[in-house]
Structure 1
Amino acid sequence: MEYTQNILEIKNLCVSYDKSDILKDINLTVTAGQTLAVIGESGAGKSSLALTVAGLCAGSATGAVLFRNRNLLAVSEAELCRIRGKDISLVFQNTGNTLHPMYTITEQITETIMLHNDMDKSTACQLAQQSLTAAGLSGRQAASYPHELSGGQQQRALIAMALVNNPEVLLLDEPTASLDPLTKQEITALLAQSAAIRAVILITHDITTAAELADTVAVLYGGRIVELGPAKTVLADPRHPYTRGLLRAYPNMTTVKDLQGIPGTMQHNLPGCPFQPRCTQRLESCQTSVPELTLTGGRSLACHRGGIMPVLQLTNLSKTWDDQEAVKELNLTLYEGETLSIVGESGSGKTTLAKTIMGLTSATTGDIHLNGTRITERRQDFYQQIQLVFQNPQEALSHRLTVSQLIKEPLDIQNIGAKADRLEAVKKLLTEVELPADAAFLHKYPHQLSGGEAQRVVIARALALHPKILIADEPTSALDASIQAKIIKLLLNLQETRGLAMLFITHDIALARKISDRLAVMQHGRIVEEGPAHLITDAPAHQYTQKLLAMAARINWR
C-alpha cells in the first residue's frame, strides 16, 4: 500500500517534565491508512508521545506536532478541545480510569457525540448505540455501567467512543494490555478494520500486536528513536542492539531460543547514545556523541556502529586433507552478541571449521575477517578477541596445573596485569562461571573436578582475555542432561552480560534449537541450509535438515 496524504507530522519534538527530558528530537510522519507502532520498554516515553499529540501532555513541549499542517503545540486549549475527540481520538491504556463509573456506556458515548456535533440527544443516542454495536457491544451491554463489563468489553467501549466521531487520527495507548489471548485477537481485528482509513499511532510493548497491526515500527529508547522502518523488516531482522534485545525478551510461538533479557536499566538525560550503558558493542564515542538517525538498508538506525556488527566473516573458506575436502567454499557471518549454531553429523566438517578459524590448521583457500580485519596470521591480539571451548574438558586442561594456574595462564602468557591482579581476576572469573573461588578449589587439579566443574573451568579460562567471540565445539556432549542444561544456561547468561558472539558446534539439533539465533546446517563440508533458528526447525527446506530433525530427541506422551 502506498501512502500519499500526510495527516500527522511530528518534527523535532522534545518533551520534559520537571527539567527531565522524556522525549528528544522525535521526527515521525503518519499518513492516511498507515499504522505506526511505537515500541519500547516502560519509561521509554511512548505514552508521553501519545499524550503530546493529543494535547494532554502535562510537561513542557517544543518542536511541532502538525495536524493538517497546523501546529497543535501552538493552538489554544479551546481549539484543542474541539480537535480532540473529533479529529484526533485517543484510546487510553487504563480503561478503569477512563470510563466514568456513574454513567452508562451509551450515555458516555452520547455525550462525546453531542460535544462535537450539532445534534439532539435522541439522534446522538442512536448513533452511540450504532457505534457500540459495530464494536461488538449492544443491548444490555450498551446500557451497562463500566463495572458491569469485562476488561475486553470496556476496551471495546473505549474504541467505540474513539471512533464515533470518525476521527482522522487514532492514538492507541497499549490497547491490548492485560487482555486474554482470545479477547486480544478480537480487539486486534476490530482495530485493524478501524485503522484502514485513518492515520494510527499504536503505542505498545506487545510485539505481536505491533506485528499484526503496524505498517511501520519506531523503536523508542530513553526518549529517542533508535530504529525506524517497515514493520516486517524491523521485527524480522532487527539491526539495533536494543531492538534485538526487545525481541529476545518477548515470548511468542515462533521463539525457539530461551528468553534473554537486556542487562541494566534504562536511564534518561545521559550524554551520548541513550542505550550505551547497556550496549555490549559501545565505542568511546557512544558515551559523548548522540548518534543520528540515518537511513541504511531500508530502515533508519541511530547507532555509531551502524547497527549490530559482524564480528567474524568467513568467505569461500575451504580446507583439504589428503585430497579430501573437509570444508568446501564456506561462507558465514557471525554478528556481535548472537549465537550461530553449526549443526551436522560427525564427519561433516564442523570441528575442522573451528580449528581452521583458530589457526590450529591452515585454510587451503578463502578468507577470515575478524572485526573487519583480514586474518593472515594468529598473533596475541587475535586470541584476545576469539577463544575456543573444546569438546572434552579433561583433554583441554593440563593435569600438571591447578585451577588457579589454568585460568591465570592466558593472562601470564599475554603479560596482562600485575601478579596480584591476576589472582583476583581468576577469582572473579570463577564466580562468573558459578564456581567456588576459595583457596581449596583454586588448588584443585583437573582430575579432582567433576565433568561440569571441569567444563566451567575451561569456559573461565576462555573468558580470561575478555574475548568477544567464543567458538564452542560440542561443549556439552560428554555431560549428562542436567549438567548440560546448567552449562548452556551459563553460556547464554555470559552472552547476555558480555555481549559474546558464539559459534556453537553441535550434532544435536534439538539443543541448537534452544540456544540459537541462527542455524547453519553442515553436510560433507558445505552449508546446505542457513537462517533464523525457528524457520530452519519449523520449515526445513533441505532433505538433510529434515533428516536431522526427524532423528532429534523427542519425548512422546501419546
Structure 2
Amino acid sequence: MLSIRGLEVSVGRTEILRGIDLDIDKGDCLAIIGESGAGKSTLGLSIMGLLSSGTVRGEVLLNGRDLLQLNEDELRRLRGGEMAMVFQNIEDALDPVQRAGDQIIEAISIHRKASSAEEMRRLLLAVGLGAEKAESYPHQLSGGEKQRVCIAMALANDPDLIILDEPTASLDAMTKMDIIHLLQSALHGRMALLITHDISLAQRLANRLAVLYAGRIMEVGDTSQILSSPAHPYTRGLVRSYPAICRAKDLQGIPGMMRHGLAGCPFHDRCTQRIEICKTEVPLLEEVRGRLVACHRGGIVPLLEVRELSVSFGSYPALSGVDLTLYEGETLAVVGESGSGKTTLSKAIMGLCQEGSGEIFLEGERVGKRDASFYSRVQMIFQNPKESVSHRMTVLDAVLEPLNVMQRGSPEERVARAKQVLRQAELPVNDRFLAKYPHQLSGGEVQRVAIARALALRPKLLIADEPTSALDPSVQAKILKLLLNLQERMGLGILLVTHDIAVARKVSDRIVVLLKGRIVEEGATDEILIGASHPYTQTLIESASERLDPGEGGGSLELAPARSRIEIKI
C-alpha cells in the first residue's frame, strides 16, 4: 500500500505541494489531474525521491516504509524494483547511445545478479514490440515504440508501484489507444499513480481520481462519479474545458490563471461562488455526495430549487408537481413543444403569473413575495425583447432603468455600468448608438440590449425564454456564445427555456423535458441525447435530427459516464 500523509514540497519560498493526503491500495489506479503547474509531476518525483531541488516534508509510506527517511542508496535499490516510473519526456528517459534491448537488460541487472536476453525479448513482446526492436537505437524508434520500451523497463522487475507521468502525451490517436490497452493489462493487480491532463486517459485507466490545484487536493473519489457529476467548481471547469468527443457542452474553460501562494482556498480568486471565508481559510477535504471535496460551501451550490410547483389556469393544469435544481454556473435547458408549460415555469419563478402551489428556493432561501433583493439576483430575457425593452426608451435609458430603480451607485457610476454591460453584450457605446430607439435596431441588437439590461444588476440567475428563436442562425450563434462567455466569467446560472433541442445540446449541462406540465425526463445533456428513454424525448430528438450531427451526437459515452435520470411516464 502507498500512503501519503501531509506531503509538502517547497522550492525557495514557493510551495509546490501543500498538505497532500492520498492512499493507493493494491489493484488501484489513482489518476491525478489538473492544469499545468498544479504540482502533478512534482508529486510523482517526490515519491520516487528524484526531486533535484527543494524541501520535502511529510510521510510517503510504501508497504510500511517511509521513503522520505531513506538515504540515496536505499532509494536506488527500490527504484526500478519495488517502484518504477514512466517519465513524461521519453526522449530524456532513454539513453541515445544504447540499444533498446541493452537498456531493458540493464534495468533488470541493476536489481538482480543476472539477466538474460530471453527475458528482455519476453518483455518486448509483452509490450507489443518484436524481438528485432532490441537492436534499435532510440532515434530509430517511433514515439509509440519508445514509450513501449520505457514501459518494458518499468515492468522489468515486477514492481508493486508504477507511476505514469503523461504516458500518452504527444502520441497520435491510434498509438495512444494501443498504449492504453497495453497499460490496462500491465497495471492489473498493481498500485498505479497516473499523472495526466488527459481526462479521457484517466477515465479509461483509473478507478479513482484526485484533482490537484496549486499544490492542494480539491476533490477525490470514484473516477466515473467525479467526471459525470463534478462536485468542486474547479473540477467542473476542467471537465468542461476538455474537448471530449461525446460531451454536448465543452470548451467553456475557467477564467483567470493559477497562482501559487494564495491564502485561503487556492482556487478562490478564480471561483465564481467564493465567499469571504474562502479568502482566508484553507478548506478541509470533507465528504460530499460520496467523495471528498475541499470547499467551504460543500462543493457547487444549488442556486435555484423548485419543489412540487403546480400552476393552473382555471381547470387547466399548466404545471403539475415540477421539481428541478439549477446549480451555480450551470445551464439547465427546459425543452418541450409549445404548450408544454415552459414559459409558465419561467414566469412562475419570476412571480409574473398567478401563484400556484409548491416552493421555490433561491440560494437556499425560500422565495416568497418577489422584492428588490430577488430581482437584483434574478433577471429574465424574454422571447420577444420588445416585452422588456420599451419602444419609448433609448438604448441607454433601457439599460439604466433597473440601475435607477434599485438606486445602484451615483448617476455617473450607473452610466459607466450601463456602458460596461453593453460592451459585454458586444454592442457599441458611442453617443449615436446609445441614443437609438428599439425600432432603429436590428432584431439581434435589440436582443443584446435586453441581455445587457438583464445583466446590469449583476444577477446570479438568468432565465432565458427562447432568447434566440426569432433570430437568424448567425446572430443566434453569437447570442448563445455571449451567454456562455458571461457564464464563464460571472458564474451565471442559466435556465434556458427552448423548444430547440439542438440549441439545448450546444449550451446546456443538463436537460429537463416538459410534457403537459410534467417533467418526463431529466439528465445530463449528452446522456439524454444519446440514450433518451421516454418516447416524447425521442420524438423531440428525431424532430431535430437535421440539426444534430449523428457523428457528434452518437457513439460511446466513455468520456462522460451516464448520470442518473428521472423518468415519469404519463
TM-score by shorter chain over 0.5: yes
- For the structure 1 residues 556 and 469, does the alpha-carbon distance in structure 2 shift closer, same or farther, using more than 3 Å as the test? closer
**1:140 to partner: Cα distance:** 2.3
Aligned to 2:108: 113
Aligned to 2:78: 83
Report 1:69-468 matches (<5 A).
Answer: 69-119=64-114, 123-468=115-460
**1:557 to partner: Cα distance:** 10
Per the alignment, in what secondary structure is the counterpart of residue 289 of structure 1? coil
Aligned to 1:28: 22
Q: Partner amino acid for 2:488?
A: E
d(CA) in 1 for partners of 2:116 and 2:14?
Answer: 43
**1:258 to partner: Cα distance:** 4.3
d(CA) in 2 for partners of 1:296 and 1:305?
Answer: 10
d(CA) in 1 for partners of 2:70 and 2:431?
Answer: 72
The normalised TM-score by structure 1 is 0.97
**1:553 to partner: Cα distance:** 4.8
Q: Partner amino acid for 1:27?
A: D
d(CA) in 2 for partners of 1:185 and 1:553?
Answer: 31
Percent identity for Structure 1 against Structure 2:
52
d(CA) in 2 for partners of 1:124 and 1:203?
Answer: 32
Per the alignment, in what secondary structure is the counterpart of residue 291 of structure 1? coil
- Which stretch of the first structure deviates more once superposed, 356-365 or 322-331? 356-365
d(CA) in 2 for partners of 1:39 and 1:142?
Answer: 34
- Matched pairs, number: 549
Q: Partner amino acid for 1:117?
A: R
Give the 4+ runs in structure 1 shifted more than 3 A.
Answer: 555-558
**1:296 to partner: Cα distance:** 2.2
Could you tell me which runs of 5 or more consecutive residues in structure 1 were left unpaired when the two chains were aligned.
1-6
d(CA) in 2 for partners of 1:459 and 1:437?
Answer: 15
1:494 lines up with 2:486 in the alignment: yes
d(CA) in 1 for partners of 2:275 and 2:450?
Answer: 29
Q: Partner amino acid for 2:107?
A: T
Q: 2:40 aligns with which of 7, 32, 46?
A: 46
> 1:97-117, CA deviations, whole angstroms, 9 ceiling, x for partnerless residues?
111110010011111111111
Q: Partner amino acid for 2:56?
A: A
CA contact 2:244–2:250 (8 Å) conserved in 1: no
**1:44 to partner: Cα distance:** 0.4
Aligned to 2:518: 526
d(CA) in 2 for partners of 1:337 and 1:133?
Answer: 49
- For the structure 1 residues 555 and 9, does the alpha-carbon distance in structure 2 shift closer, same or farther, using more than 3 Å as the test? closer
Q: Partner amino acid for 1:185?
A: M
- For the structure 1 residues 557 and 93, does the alpha-carbon distance in structure 2 shift closer, same or farther, using more than 3 Å as the test? closer
CA contact 2:288–2:299 (8 Å) conserved in 1: no
Aligned to 1:12: 6
**1:353 to partner: Cα distance:** 0.6
CA contact 1:38–1:201 (8 Å) conserved in 2: yes
d(CA) in 2 for partners of 1:553 and 1:436?
Answer: 37
> 1:70-98, CA deviations, whole angstroms, 9 ceiling, x for partnerless residues?
11111110100000111110000011111
d(CA) in 1 for partners of 2:254 and 2:525?
Answer: 20
Aligned to 1:61: 56
d(CA) in 2 for partners of 1:256 and 1:319?
Answer: 32
Aligned to 1:516: 508
Aligned to 2:563: none
d(CA) in 1 for partners of 2:186 and 2:547?
Answer: 45
d(CA) in 2 for partners of 1:106 and 1:182?
Answer: 25
Per the alignment, in what secondary structure is the counterpart of residue 397 of structure 1? coil
1:551 lines up with 2:546 in the alignment: no
d(CA) in 1 for partners of 2:411 and 2:191?
Answer: 64
> 1:134-156, CA deviations, whole angstroms, 9 ceiling, x for partnerless residues?
11112322211111111111110
d(CA) in 2 for partners of 1:164 and 1:110?
Answer: 8
> 1:442-474, CA deviations, whole angstroms, 9 ceiling, x for partnerless residues?
111111111111101000000011001000000
CA contact 1:317–1:363 (8 Å) conserved in 2: no
Q: Partner amino acid for 2:267?
A: F
Q: Partner amino acid for 1:107?
A: D
**1:528 to partner: Cα distance:** 0.4
CA contact 2:124–2:131 (8 Å) conserved in 1: no
> 1:382-424, CA deviations, whole angstroms, 9 ceiling, x for partnerless residues?
0111100000112321111111111011010011100011111
Q: Partner amino acid for 2:30?
A: L
> 1:311-345, CA deviations, whole angstroms, 9 ceiling, x for partnerless residues?
10000000000110001100000000000000000
> 1:519-547, CA deviations, whole angstroms, 9 ceiling, x for partnerless residues?
01111000100000001011110000011
- For the structure 1 residues 211 and 438, does the alpha-carbon distance in structure 2 shift closer, same or farther, using more than 3 Å as the test? same
Per the alignment, in what secondary structure is the counterpart of residue 520 of structure 1? strand
Q: Partner amino acid for 1:462?
A: A
- Which stretch of the first structure deviates more once superposed, 546-555 or 328-337? 546-555
- For the structure 1 residues 553 and 484, does the alpha-carbon distance in structure 2 shift closer, same or farther, using more than 3 Å as the test? farther
Q: Partner amino acid for 2:29?
A: T
d(CA) in 2 for partners of 1:417 and 1:434?
Answer: 23
d(CA) in 2 for partners of 1:73 and 1:332?
Answer: 50
- Which stretch of the first structure deviates more once superposed, 392-401 or 523-532? 392-401
d(CA) in 1 for partners of 2:205 and 2:250?
Answer: 26
The normalised TM-score by structure 2 is 0.95
CA contact 2:165–2:196 (8 Å) conserved in 1: yes
Per the alignment, in what secondary structure is the counterpart of residue 68 of structure 2? coil
**1:287 to partner: Cα distance:** 0.6
CA contact 2:329–2:492 (8 Å) conserved in 1: yes
Per the alignment, in what secondary structure is the counterpart of residue 116 of structure 1? coil
CA contact 2:396–2:435 (8 Å) conserved in 1: yes
**1:555 to partner: Cα distance:** 5.9
d(CA) in 1 for partners of 2:124 and 2:284?
Answer: 45
Per the alignment, in what secondary structure is the counterpart of residue 132 of structure 2? coil
Per the alignment, in what secondary structure is the counterpart of residue 276 of structure 1? coil
Could you tell me which runs of 5 or more consecutive residues in structure 2 were left unpaired when the two chains were aligned.
551-570
**1:480 to partner: Cα distance:** 0.5
RMSD of the alignment, in Å?
A: 1.2
> 1:347-388, CA deviations, whole angstroms, 9 ceiling, x for partnerless residues?
101001111000011332100000001111101000111100
CA contact 1:87–1:169 (8 Å) conserved in 2: yes
